[in-house]
């Protein structure tokens, strides 16, 4: 990467330049790669850390899937190692009940808060968004750096909790009291970790909002923003508005655990045949309200950036404008608003009255409409296209039917009557995984293949990319597809084994099938890991505009972009997806005119 | 997959023995039809585009946005169908399930359930029809008083019947179950009766339902008979043990000399294997001991996965006999 000297300082067409650009010296190794304030370095740090966490979360699930398919049998390879943490049994080396609950709770937490969100927002958002809006950096580069380090500390606290007395948290990623309040010390670590992670997201979200509002290149009006930037913008608002209640709730639960308060504890609890010390008077359901007030918007935090990525890649590889760009933008804004008033659809079984549940059923049906519109826009975008089937496009296309399955299966869960049968069964696990795994994760892979040449200046191998794509798509469907059928039969989730139950026995064949799928999925990641690392050093060199794209990160910034991003300030002259403009010599017209490749 | 052969696979909704469940099933089924139609519709258009608009086949992409009336139609249809599902099905079904408690003249039978880690305490009022007060201060599993009843001081509690994990119910009569928990949140779920309700400590939440007349656990068991293969000597007994768990032999399983290896109604287990193999028995027929199970659907701690209860459905007269016996046979029974 080149140094930080060449960018000019006259530019700030929106008033303030980021503080970063005040100093001129070349940062040393530590300043450049470790405690960097450059959004690109931070983006890469986020990406790499989040990918590692995704692998960790996935590995936990492989262990659990072993247990589900082969209940009570020694965990292969790591069985002995894990017995030191109480995750596996000292003698049999099989997963213990506690171990299963630990891995389950940590899988959920890691995947959501340490994997997908940091990758989608901290990684892609940080790296790509400033480039796409023609900014030299984020508005508050130091805040940005702090956000990463707070995130990493949160991650370390979470992982360290495996060594806590009694092991890591075991109360699910939802941590419902009173169970979570009465749990061992791992839960306290979980709460501290969560407070750090939430703080990190809050720092990030403020930065994203200010950056998008104030640091756009000349000529880049809001209605010329790439769809990805819009998605990040709405996401940032969701994070900013949804996380504070959970942060408060987290602190309250922490107080219940360590300071003897009773926010979530009712009177007269008797645990393990002994009265508990809490005075009572609190409400366990209060936690659920606070938690889901965050956690429903959170699912849109998981999905919106993915939609943004898919939008970019579809426009680029259909070689035509995204169909219904304005509709798409309004849809995600509407989704954002609505996501704040559907939370209690997670709580139909808590004894809620019919008036309240009618309200939440109605809002839930309403929120499905923009999702249908978004999907429809993407699919219509394919009409009349000139589709290039490269690896990013394959992943982006696969996102569409996968997200459709995830979204549609939310409907029966959104109606309280059908939810009576389906609530807290494997159907739920199938539903949200189709949204976040074959959905979001697939879109994130698409994004990695798409922006890799920008970040490294080299391309990933197409052959290995396809070798990654097919087993991933097939493996994911093998893992998650059967869950709908297990769930519809009525088998509940979060079980160490379902084979004690009649309905569980009658669906165990699916469980085995699903575990085989997890192995396929795992093996399918090897080409990716190899491709990722080998391409950094030995990939084919990429041009500045490797995909012949219109948006600024490709049109105006070198690959990789230098400190300060652009050689000259880009000036935007048109909308984001001017592909195949009739009469134009090339099939794409970049958004800006300066610094053409 | 050997497992497929040995169990009786189930593919969709489990059988339903409640009078209200068909409405839930109908809603679930219609929703899946609707979802399938949408998905296939989208999918057809999608695949057509993927094939037709390949890079090589289509020399130039379309710049002008097409006027896609179809998308408006699809979106309008989705809205209409969702409104219909919501207004015509979901809301009324839920209202009936939640807002229509059985009236006293329908002679409902009331039973209380107190969940705890990791068991269901079933509390019947006894012959006087009155529930004794549950006093948290008296609760003691160690002294066999899991509910904290005051047997001596409280006249209502004297004849109360307390069960553990086995909930006997008469069919054809409205049932009211009042649910609470001693410790953490559990969820009382009986898939084959289409009932689910969280049990929240500090709250008492009722559910009600009626079991279809003419059914009984004994009759249901007959419909769930399965064959389980006996593994060869030296082979892994894993599957055999799994598929026999909580199942009972539907007939006496006898060796060639006529000795009974597993008696009718007993659970076959690993210890019977040798004898079964010696007798050259290739497979045995079993059925669930109690086919209608109570699941706890809320993560409630370490052995959440074992928090299984049973609903034992009885014809009304049989139930009355059973109930009278329980009341006469001492103040309490703890099974299992
Ligand atoms: C890609 C591979 C993945 C596999 C094989 C997998 C598998 C599973 C399974 C089987 C469960 C249910 C465990 C149980 O109920 O006992 C589960 C739970 C869960 N998963 Fe995943 N998952 C994957 C990816 C993800 C991703 C990407 C996310 C989120 C972004 C995620 C979030 C969750 C959450 C929140 C839970 C619930 C945890 C809880 O019960 O507290 N998973 N996963
Ligand atoms: Cu939700
Ligand atoms: Cu429970």
Could you give the number of structural domains in chain B?
Answer: 3
B74/B120 same-domain check:
no
Nearest chain B residue to A361 by CA: give it: B86
Helix (H) or strand (E) holding A200, with range, is helix A186-214
The whole-angstrom distance between B323's CA and the closest CA on chain A is 27
Quote the DSSP letter at residue A373.
H
* Phi/psi of residue A38, nearest 5 degrees: -75, 130
Residues B330 and B206 in one domain: yes
Q: Is residue B2 part of a domain?
A: no
Q: How far apart are CA A1 and CA A456, in angstroms?
A: 9
Q: Is A496 on the interface with B (CB under 8 A)?
A: yes
Are the C-beta atoms of A385 and B53 separated by less than 8 Å?
yes
Asked if residues A567 and A595 have their Cβ atoms less than 8 Å apart, the reply is yes
Return the ∠ at Cα A556 (arms to A550 and A562), rounded to 5°. Answer: 140
From first to last of the 597 residues of chain A, give the pLDDT tens digit. 333 344 444 333 443 444 444 444 566 777 777 888 999 999 999 999 999 999 999 999 999 999 999 999 999 999 999 999 999 999 999 999 999 999 999 999 999 999 999 999 999 999 999 999 999 999 999 999 999 999 999 999 999 999 999 899 999 999 999 999 989 899 999 999 999 999 999 999 999 999 999 999 999 999 999 999 999 999 999 999 999 999 999 999 999 999 989 999 998 899 988 888 888 889 999 999 999 998 999 999 999 999 999 999 999 999 999 999 999 999 999 999 999 999 999 999 998 888 898 999 999 999 999 999 999 999 999 998 899 999 999 999 999 999 999 999 999 999 999 999 999 999 999 999 999 999 999 999 999 999 999 999 999 999 999 999 999 999 999 999 999 999 999 999 999 999 999 999 999 999 999 999 999 999 999 999 999 999 999 999 999 999 999 999 999 999 999 989 999 899 999 999 999 999 888 889 999 875 444
Write out the H or E segment, with its range, that includes residue A274. strand A274-275
Integer-rounded Cα radius of gyration of chain A: 24
Interface of A with B in 256-275 (CB under 8 A): 266-273, 275
Which residue's CA lies nearest to atom 32 of ligand 1?
A108
**Per this entry, what is the length of chain B?**
336
Write down the pLDDT at residue B237: 87
What is the distance between the terminal CA atoms of chain A, rounded to a whole angstrom? 18
Instruction: Verify whether the Cβ–Cβ distance A380 to B66 is below 8 Å.
Output: yes
* Upper half-sphere CA count for residue B123 (Cβ side, 13 Å): 23
Q: How far is the CA of A112 from the centre of ligand 2 (A)?
A: 14
Q: Closest partner residue to B136 among A275, A417, A509, by Cβ?
A: A275
Query: Residue A429 Cα, ligand 1 centroid: separation in angstroms?
Result: 7
DSSP tag of A88: B
Ligand nearest the Cα atom of residue B305: 3
Measure A242 CA to nearest chain B CA, in Å: 25
Residue B145, domain CATH: 2.60.40.420
- Whether residue B194 sits in one domain with residue B162: yes
Given CB atoms, is A109 within the 8 Å cutoff of chain B? no
Residues B240 and B180 in one domain: no
Q: How far is the CA of A247 from the centre of ligand 2 (A)?
A: 18
Environment class of B315 (CB within 10 Å of its CB; exposed 0-12, middle 13-18, buried 19+): middle
User: Burial, A169: exposed, middle or buried (Cβ in 10 Å; 0-12, 13-18, 19+)?
Assistant: buried
Q: For residue A530, how many other CB atoms are within 10 A of its CB?
A: 14
Quick one: B31 and B87 in the same domain? Answer: yes
Touching check for A550 and chain B: CB below 8 Å? no
Q: What is the B301 CA–ligand 3 centroid distance (Å)?
A: 7
Q: Is A176 in contact with B298 (Cβ distance < 8 A)?
A: yes
- Nearest CA among A163, A120, A177 for reference residue A291: A177
User: pLDDT at position A240, please?
Assistant: 94
Distance, in Å, from the CA atom of B226 to the CA atom of B244, rounded to the nearest integer, reads 10
Rg (CA), chain B: 26
* Closest CB from A354, A401, A501 relative to B99: A354
- Atom of ligand 1 at shortest range from CA of A426: 15
* A17-272+293-555: CATH topology: Cytochrome C Oxidase; Chain A (1.20.210)
Is B8 a member of any domain? no
CA pair distance A211, A233, nearest whole angstrom: 10
Last residue of a domain, one of B99, B117, B138: B99
Distance from CA of B272 to the nearest CA of A (A): 19
**B156 and B89 fall within a common domain:** no
- Alpha carbons B245 and A295: distance in angstroms, whole number: 38
CA distance A62 to chain B (A): 19
Question: Sign of dihedral through CA atoms A388, A389, A391, A393?
Answer: positive
Q: Which ligand is nearest to the Cα of residue A368, counting in written order?
A: 2
| Region of poorest pLDDT, from A55-69, A421-435, B37-51, B317-331 | B317-331
Question: Residue A406: CB partners within 8 Å, gap ≥ 6?
Answer: A431, A432, A433, A434, A435, A436, A438, A439
C-alpha span between B45 and B76 (Å, rounded): 18
Average the pLDDT over B309-325 and give the result. 94
Check whether residue B123 and residue B202 sit in a common domain.
Answer: yes
b/e code B54-66 from CB counts within 10 Å (16+ = b): ebeebeebbbebe
Identify which of A562, A563, A544 has the alpha carbon closest to the alpha carbon of residue A554.
Answer: A544
Task: Using the atom order of ligand 1, give the atom closest to the CA of residue A437.
Answer: 27
Same domain, B202 and B325: yes
Tell me the C-alpha distance between B30 and A417, whole Å: 13
Which residue has its alpha carbon closest to ligand 1 atom 40? Answer: A172
Our mutation pick for probing the ligand 1 site, out of A51, A107, A116, A508, counting the most ligand atoms within 8 A of Cβ, is: A107
Q: Is the peptide bond before A279 cis (omega within 30 degrees of 0)?
A: no
Residue of B nearest to A376 (CA): B71
- Would you tell me which residues 358-417 of chain A have a C-beta closer than 8 angstroms to some C-beta of chain B? 358, 361-362, 365, 368-369, 372-373, 375-377, 379-380, 382-389, 397, 400-401, 404-405, 408-409, 411-412, 415-417
The pocket around ligand 1, CB under 6 angstroms, is made up of A 58, 61, 104-105, 107-108, 111-112, 116, 172-174, 302, 429, 433, 436-437, 441, 479, 493-495, 518
Q: What is the model's pLDDT at position B75? A: 81
pLDDT value, residue B69? 77
Query: Does the predicted model carry a pTM greater than 0.95?
Result: no
Which residue, judged by its Cα, is nearest atom 15 of ligand 1? A494
Domain membership of residue B66 as a residue range? 21-99
Kindly list the distances between the CA atom of residue A595 and the CA atoms of A267, A378, A565, B159, in Å, as whole numbers in the listed order. 69, 31, 12, 90
Give the residue from A363, A443, A442, A374 showing the smallest Cα distance to A407: A374
Give the domain-ending residue among B38, B70, B99: B99
Residue to probe by mutation, ligand 1, list A102, A106, A305, A437, most atoms within 8 Å of CB: A437
CATH number for the domain harbouring residue B240: 3.90.105
Q: Kindly state whether residues B208 and B186 are assigned to the same domain.
A: yes
- Nearest protein Cα to ligand 1, atom 34: A108
Q: In chain A, what are the domain boundaries?
A: 17-272+293-555
- CB count, 10 Å around CB of A571? 16
Helix ranges restricted to H, B53-122 = 69-84, 91-99
How confident is the model at residue B336, as a pLDDT?
A: 37
Same domain as B155, residue B179: yes
CB contact under 8 A, A490 and B192: yes
| Eight-class DSSP state of A107 | H
Q: Which atom of ligand 1 is nearest to the CA of A479?
A: 5
Asked whether the beta carbons of residue A376 and residue B46 sit closer than 8 angstroms, the reply is no
B204, closest residue in chain A (CA to CA): A351
How many residues are listed for chain A in this entry?
597
For residue B190, give the 3-state DSSP assignment.
Answer: strand
Give contacts of B298 with chain A, Cβ < 8 Å.
176, 424
- Number of A to B CB contacts under 8 A, please give it: 319
**Residues of A with Cβ-Cβ distance to B7 under 8 angstroms:** 505-506, 508-509
Q: Which of A418, A478, A497, A587 to mutate to test the interface with B (most CBs of B within 10 A)?
A: A418
Interface test with A, best of B56, B74, B298 (most A CBs within 10 A): B298
Would you say B120 and B309 are in contact if contact means Cβ atoms under 8 Å apart? yes
Do B181 and B269 fall within a single domain?
Answer: no
- Among A179, A424, A505, whose Cβ lies nearest the Cβ of B243? A505
CA distance A452 to A461: 11
Interface of A with B in 279-338 (CB under 8 A): 280, 283-285, 318-321, 323-324
């Amino acid at each position: 990467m080149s140094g930080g000297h060449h960018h000019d300082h006259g530019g700030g067409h929106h008033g303030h330049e980021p503080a970063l650009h005040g100093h001129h010296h070349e940062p040393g190794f530590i300043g450049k790669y470790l405690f960097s304030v450059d959004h690109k370095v931070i983006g890469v740090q986020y990406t790499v850390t989040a990918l590692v966490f995704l692998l960790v979360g996935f590995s936990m699930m492989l262990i659990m899937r072993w247990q589900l398919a082969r209940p009570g049998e020694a965990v292969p390879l790591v069985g002995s190692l894990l017995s030191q943490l109480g995750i596996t049994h000292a003698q049999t080396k099989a997963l213990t009940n506690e171990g299963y609950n630990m891995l389950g709770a940590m899988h959920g937490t890691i995947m959501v808060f340490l994997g997908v969100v940091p990758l989608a927002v901290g990684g892609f958002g940080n790296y790509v968004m400033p480039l796409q809006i023609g900014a030299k950096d984020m508005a508050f580069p130091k805040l940005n750096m702090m956000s990463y380090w707070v995130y990493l500390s949160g991650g370390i606290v979470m992982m360290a909790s495996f060594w806590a007395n009694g092991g890591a948290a075991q109360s699910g990623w939802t941590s419902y009291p009173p169970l979570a309040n009465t749990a061992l010390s791992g839960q306290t670590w979980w709460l501290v970790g969560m407070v750090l992670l939430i703080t990190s997201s809050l720092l990030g979200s403020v930065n994203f909002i200010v950056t998008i509002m104030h640091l756009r290149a000349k000529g880049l009006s809001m209605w010329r923003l790439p769809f990805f930037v819009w998605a990040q913008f709405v996401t940032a608002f969701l994070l900013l508005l949804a996380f504070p209640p959970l942060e408060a709730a987290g602190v309250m639960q922490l107080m219940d655990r360590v300071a003897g308060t009773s926010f979530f504890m009712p009177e007269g609890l008797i645990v393990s045949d002994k009265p508990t010390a809490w005075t009572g008077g609190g409400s366990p359901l209060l936690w659920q309200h606070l938690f889901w007030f965050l956690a429903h918007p959170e699912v849109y935090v998981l999905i919106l950036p993915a939609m943004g990525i898919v939008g970019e890649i579809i426009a680029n590889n259909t070689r035509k404008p995204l169909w219904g760009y304005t509709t798409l933008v309004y849809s995600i804004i509407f989704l954002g608003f609505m996501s704040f008033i559907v939370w209690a659809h997670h709580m139909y079984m808590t004894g809620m009255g019919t008036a309240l549940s009618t309200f939440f059923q109605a809002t839930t049906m309403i929120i499905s409409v923009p999702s249908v519109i978004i999907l429809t826009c993407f699919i219509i975008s394919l009409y009349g296209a000139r589709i290039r089937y490269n690896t990013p496009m394959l992943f982006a296309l696969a996102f569409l039917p996968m997200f459709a399955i995830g979204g549609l299966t939310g409907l029966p869960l959104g109606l309280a009557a059908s939810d009576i049968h389906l609530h807290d069964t494997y159907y739920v696990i199938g539903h949200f995984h189709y949204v976040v795994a074959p959905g979001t994760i697939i879109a994130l892979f698409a994004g990695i293949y798409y922006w890799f040449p920008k970040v490294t200046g080299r391309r990933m191998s197409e052959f290995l990319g396809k070798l990654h794509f097919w087993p991933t798509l097939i493996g994911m469907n093998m893992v998650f597809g059967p869950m709908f059928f297990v769930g519809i039969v009525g088998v509940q989730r979060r079980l160490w084994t379902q084979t004690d139950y009649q309905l569980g026995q009658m669906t165990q064949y699916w469980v085995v099938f699903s575990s085989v799928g997890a192995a396929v999925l795992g093996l399918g990641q090897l080409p990716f890991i190899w491709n990722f690392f080998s391409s950094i050093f030995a990939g084919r060199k990429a041009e500045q505009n490797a995909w012949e794209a219109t948006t600024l990160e490709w049109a105006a910034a070198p690959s990789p972009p230098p400190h300060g991003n652009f050689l000259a300030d880009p000036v935007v002259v048109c909308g984001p997806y001017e592909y195949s403009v009739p009469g134009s010599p090339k099939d794409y017209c970049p958004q800006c005119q300066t610094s053409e490749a | 997959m050997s497992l497929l052969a040995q169990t009786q696979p189930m593919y969709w909704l489990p059988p339903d023995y409640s009078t209200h469940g068909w409405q839930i099933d109908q809603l679930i089924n219609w929703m899946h039809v609707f979802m399938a139609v949408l998905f296939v519709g989208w999918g057809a258009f999608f695949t057509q585009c993927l094939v037709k608009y390949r890079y090589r086949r289509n020399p130039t992409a379309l710049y002008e946005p097409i006027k896609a009336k179809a998308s408006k139609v699809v979106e309008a249809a989705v809205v209409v169908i969702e409104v219909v599902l919501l207004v015509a099905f979901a809301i009324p079904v839920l209202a009936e399930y939640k807002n229509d408690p059985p009236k006293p003249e329908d002679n409902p039978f009331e039973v209380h359930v107190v969940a705890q880690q990791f068991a269901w305490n079933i509390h019947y009022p006894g012959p006087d029809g009155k529930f004794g007060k549950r006093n948290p201060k008296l609760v003691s599993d160690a002294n066999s008083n899991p509910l904290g009843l005051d047997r001596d001081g409280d006249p209502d509690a004297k004849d109360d019947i307390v069960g553990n994990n086995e909930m006997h119910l008469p069919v054809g009569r409205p049932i009211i179950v009042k649910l609470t928990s001693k410790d953490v949140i559990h969820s009382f779920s009986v898939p084959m009766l289409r009932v689910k309700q969280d049990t929240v400590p500090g709250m008492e939440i009722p559910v009600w339902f009626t079991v279809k007349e003419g059914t009984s656990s004994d009759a249901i068991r007959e419909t769930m008979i399965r064959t389980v293969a006996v593994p060869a000597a030296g082979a892994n007994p894993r599957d055999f043990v799994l598929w026999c768990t909580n199942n009972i032999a539907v007939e006496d399983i006898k060796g060639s000399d006529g000795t009974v290896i597993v008696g009718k109604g007993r659970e076959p287990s690993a210890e019977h294997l040798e004898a079964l193999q010696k007798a050259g028995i290739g497979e045995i027929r079993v059925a669930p001991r109690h086919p209608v199970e109570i699941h706890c659907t809320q993560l409630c701690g370490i052995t959440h996965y074992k928090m299984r209860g049973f609903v034992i459905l009885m014809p009304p007269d049989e139930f009355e006999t059973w109930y009278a016996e329980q009341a006469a046979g001492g103040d309490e029974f703890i099974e299992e």
